[in-house]
Amino acid sequence: MTEISTNQGVVSDLTMQFTSSLSDVSFSTKKSFSFSQSSAASGLKSSLTSLSSSISNFESYASSDVKKLMTIHQAIEKAERGKN
């Protein structure tokens, strides 16, 4: 049977890098605009809204992945302690 192990240093480093990179990912428009007759402005507004939503989704999924990584790490540690 193959033994599974985990390394707190690696998990902490990966978690820190992932979490700190999330703080660098942000998007917000600085000015609002309204050109009801302009299809170019409507297209740009739609694209910016979609980009903002995509970034929010990425942040949410990445945070969830970090939590899952920590949960897996803790479960492996608990299993290792139980063997000893």
**Nearest residue to 74 via CA among 16, 6, 2:** 6
Average pLDDT over residues 18-36: 73
Please compute the mean of the pLDDT values over residues 5-25 and round it to a whole number.
Answer: 81
> What is residue 68's predicted lDDT score, i.e. its pLDDT?
92
Enumerate residues 6+ apart whose C-beta is below 8 A from 41.
Answer: 33, 34, 35
Q: Within the chain, what is the greatest distance between any pair of CA atoms?
A: 72
List pLDDT tens digits, range 44-61: 888 988 988 998 898 888
Close Cβ partners of 78 (under 8 Å, ≥ 6 residues apart): none
pLDDT band at 3 (very low <50, low <70, confident <90, very high): low
Stated pTM of the model = 0.64
Average pLDDT for 29-57: 81
Cα(38)–Cα(19) distance, integer angstroms: 40
Residue with tokens 């809204």: 49
